[in-house]
Structure 1
Amino acid sequence: MTNPIVKPFWDQATGSWQYVFHDPDTMKGAIVDPVLDYDPLAGATSTANAERLLDYVRETGIELVWILDTHPHADHFSAAQWLSRQTGAPTAIGEKVTGVQKLWQGIYHLPEDFPVDGRQWDRLFADGERFMVGNVPVTVMFSPGHTLASITYVAGDAAFVHDTLMMPDSGSSRADFPGGSSDALYDSIAAILSLPETTRIFVGHDYAPGREAACEASVAQHRAANIHWKGGPSRAEYRQLRDARDATLPLPKLMLSALQINIRGGALPEPEADGRSYLKIPLNAFESR
């Protein structure tokens, strides 16, 4: 088995980690969870983050074969569509994204003909599905809890776990979004931390509590030091801790904007008669926190 070279990219504005990984032998590679920049005060999108990833791919000589999303994000826009247009690489996400599309179609009161079959991506991966990036084997793990569609990509000795785990000193990610479940999250974390101890866990976010932003820790480090998992909590203990924490958290400031983009695979809504796309905010669909 060939293990990938992983290059992380930090987006400070959203606390998000994006990744490029590649096979050093064949130089084939993939991008995971790219960010499309969005200024909510100006309503302006830009591609600075995506261009950083693309510059690295080109400068390193990587042949991009996949652009991978782990789930429809609530805190940033996905740049998957833009990167696919620039490179020709196909896009992919987990097959349960259709459930997220149907859920948010209702919240946004989108037309009945809005596609909720995942066609916005080139490929929908099933749990346990395997594919190759060069000589690096990649296995898809269905990892619900944070969202009902979340997946983990296990690429050689690297696992891209999206927002299931945070860094060990921050614990795990919230499970209170529509379709989320602390019960499902418990099972997903247990499965991820059953991978070999040397597996490198790459997280989707870090909010750097009093330190520099970090993105990587091993399975062994999480088992020993993750503040939500060390000591092997029971399901009831974990759910009590996670649910209590979630009850104190405000909703992400970009959630109502981001899901409109991300259930479209990273595409903006269809332009209206003036040629401009518009976001639609459902008032009072959620309670103020």
Structure 2
Amino acid sequence: MSEPLRLHPSPASGSPDVYSFFEPDTSTWQYIVSDPATKDAALIDTVLDYDPSSGKISTATADQIVSFVGKHGLNVKYVLETHAHADHLTAAQYFKKKFDIPVGIGKRISAVQETFAPVYGYEPSAFVGAFDLLFRDDQTFSLGSLNCRVIHLPGHTPDHVGYIIGQSVFTGDSIFQPDIGSARSDFPGGDAKALHSSLRRLMALPETFSLFVGHDYPTGRQQFCASTVGQHLKSNKHLAKGISESEFIALRNARDAGLGAPRLLHPALQTNIRGGRLPTADHGRPYFKIPITTSVAL
């Protein structure tokens, strides 16, 4: 279940109110982004609950957001993804049906779909209509009276984008809080050099802009979801104090070499590359496929 919301009020004209919800099982920050003038809203990086031991899927976390939207009279216009997540299932399809809204993601999702289609036995037809909006780099769209801009942030994954809405930037899994640094870049299509370039693109934004992250994994502190560009420039452990590109690549690759696969990797990818759609039912129910990666003659 999500923790109670935290409100980050609009800091200036042209910026949104941001409501953040922390989902503790996957350490995911979910966001409701709302235009203060019109109450038009977008949902970013939502979570569908999944228990791998029982196979149970539920909408308990998503329903908290539905309840909040109704209570505060928000008009949900989009559900947006920063990338095809490998650590949690998206609730995008649930919200699409609940609010009759489009699902948006970066257009390079096609590269991720092509990579994983043969892994899970998906035919090209499985991806038809999976997403309603495929954003290109620097594309703009409106949320009520607010202007939103898409920014391509590859490195963690090739399809990764962020959303700049006023002075708020939704960075997904590109950057984490300053004491943690940056996200891993060892997934298929990931690249430490590209990630460094993406982080520098974020650091080129005005220092007062707030970067809202996709996850937080704290040690000895409470979870929090946003730091300013200025705070990252001063203290991000992977960016501050003149760390060079080559030094960043070396430390990122060394760190990634010690990381295991995300717990929900295969269920998440099978769902998320199809915009939140579960696998087609087989013998009366859907099943997730778990590839065997070691060849054993049995």
TM-score of the alignment, normalized to the shorter chain, above 0.5: yes
The reply on whether 1:277 has 2:289 as its aligned counterpart is: no
CA distance in 1: counterparts of 2:238 and 2:64, whole angstroms:
33
* Structure 2 residue corresponding to 1:58, chosen from 54, 70, 79: 70
- Alignment of structure 1 residues 1-289 onto 2, 5 Å: 1-111=13-123, 113-115=125-127, 119-274=129-284, 276-284=285-293
Q: For the Cα contact (< 8 Å) 1:107–1:285, is it kept in 2?
A: no
CA distance in 1: counterparts of 2:74 and 2:242, whole angstroms:
40
CA RMSD in angstroms comes to 1.3
Deviation, 1:257, is 1.4
CA distance in 1: counterparts of 2:124 and 2:236, whole angstroms:
44
Q: Which string of whole-angstrom CA distances, capped at 9 and with x for unpartnered residues, describes residues 180-218 of structure 1?
A: 110110010000111111101000000121111111100
Q: Percent identity?
A: 40
Using the size of structure 2 for normalisation, the TM-score is: 0.92
Q: For the Cα contact (< 8 Å) 2:174–2:198, is it kept in 1?
A: yes
Q: Which string of whole-angstrom CA distances, capped at 9 and with x for unpartnered residues, describes residues 14-45 of structure 1?
A: 01000001010011110000000000110111
**CA separation of 1:285 and 1:128: change in aligned 2, threshold 3 A:** farther
**CA separation of 1:83 and 1:113: change in aligned 2, threshold 3 A:** closer
Q: For the Cα contact (< 8 Å) 2:86–2:269, is it kept in 1?
A: yes
Q: Which amino acid counterpart does residue 135 of structure 1 have in structure 2?
A: S
Q: Which amino acid counterpart does residue 94 of structure 2 have in structure 1?
A: W
Deviation, 1:235, is 1.0
Structure 2 SS opposite 1:189: helix
In structure 1, the gaps of 5 or more residues are none
Deviation, 1:52, is 1.1
Q: Which string of whole-angstrom CA distances, capped at 9 and with x for unpartnered residues, describes residues 192-249 of structure 1?
A: 1111111010000001211111111000000101011111321101100100000011
**CA separation of 1:175 and 1:59: change in aligned 2, threshold 3 A:** same
CA distance in 1: counterparts of 2:26 and 2:239, whole angstroms:
25
CA distance in 2: counterparts of 1:222 and 1:278, whole angstroms:
42
Structure 2 SS opposite 1:20: strand
